[in-house]
Structure 1
Amino acid sequence: MSNAHVPLHPLIIGSSALEIVDGYIYLEHTIQLGRSSFEKEVNRRIQLGWAAFGKLRNIFSSKIPQCLKTKVFEQCVLPVLTYGSETWSLTMGLIRRLRITQRAMLRAMLVVFLRDQIRNEEIRRRTRVTDIAQRVAKLKWKWAGHIARRTDGRWPRTGKRSVGRPPMRWIDGIKRVAGSRWKQAAQDRGFWNSLQKTYVQQWTSIG
């Protein structure tokens, strides 16, 4: 059988032709057809996060206490950056990009620059903002436990291996910590919660 692409014809509804695309936005989340990749969605989250940060820049640059700035950031910017992240196939590259974005925002909040050579640990100490890698990992682990305990027979697709270098699947990071029988492990909430720290650490250790 030939692997040549079959030309796609537009779907006509009334007098309008629907555009053929390989991705679209649905419920504020990027849906991409074909080989799964969350890079576009992460790029979009970063853009939206900066837009949210920009709208609040007057607050972040004001003289109000840092604890209030941190609260605003965690309630208005961090959720925008991490929306839908529980469904992402995490990679070190994606986590690193999110952390770099968060650090740039925190430096802007503190009005410090890279040339000031202030260590990331000191930036976190001053702002006390939740590490974005920690937030994303916790959201995904919680969501994995939730869907494993579902009893309605539905199960989200986690992706199939393709020819060539296999892409990271949604489930791979979960299995590294909880094993191949992770769905059975998730039935014990106490045991599942005890594994969360190990799962989170593998992502928060990324620079």
Structure 2
Amino acid sequence: MTYGTETWSFTAGRMRKLKVAQRAMERAMLGVSLRDKLWNEYIRSRTRVTDIAQRISNLKWQWAGHIARRTDNRWGRKVLEWQPRTGRRSIGRPPTRWSDDLVRHAGNRWMQVAQDRALWHSLGEAYVQQWTCEGL
């Protein structure tokens, strides 16, 4: 369920859908239906599965640090630094980009911040908590 999630741009709606899917899978593992009206915390304590939001946000943070610290000239870093041509923007809210939540937690210079592994790790803990504490 988490394969390739490092490359997704996370939104609250997408995270909510993943959490709902995880809870449905956990209920299926225990053979419990929604009619049994068991609390999610009780189900989670029985299955002892890591929260999906915590897992994928941690994976994304680690992947971003890995990409930022690369020194070879592979395309991953080039794609992050690429600026599209200027032109007319479409109307409405712009879609969420992959790096938007990284910028929100580590600042505009997040690629330079990622060079310091200790600082990057400490910022990563706060980043993971944003998705696990919101109660989505």
**Richer in strand (by share):** 1
Q: Shift of residue 113 of structure 1? A: 1.3
- The residue number in structure 2 matching 1:130 is 50
Instruction: State the 4+ residue runs in structure 1 displaced beyond 2 angstroms.
Output: 156-164
Higher mean displacement: 149-158 or 178-187 = 149-158
Return the TM-score normalized by structure 1. Answer: 0.58
- The residue number in structure 2 matching 1:191 is 119
- Report if the CA contact (8 A) 1:92-1:206 is conserved: no
Gaps of 5+ in 1: 1-80
Distance 2:112 2:6 in 1: 20
What is the number of equivalent residue pairs in this alignment?
127
Q: CA RMSD in A?
A: 1.7
Identity %: 60
**Richer in helix (by share):** 2
Distance 1:95 1:139 in 2: 14
Q: Shift of residue 141 of structure 1? A: 0.2
Higher relative contact order (CA 8 A, sep 6+): 2
Select 1:163's aligned residue among 75, 90, 97: 90
Q: Shift of residue 146 of structure 1? A: 0.4
Distance 1:90 1:82 in 2: 13
Select 1:147's aligned residue among 60, 67, 92: 67
- The residue number in structure 2 matching 1:117 is 37
Distance 1:115 1:99 in 2: 19
Gaps of 5+ in 2: none
- The residue number in structure 2 matching 1:50 is none
Quick one: structure 1 residues 171 and 144, their matched pair in 2 at CA, closer, same or farther if it must change by over 3 Å?
same
Q: Shift of residue 105 of structure 1? A: 0.6
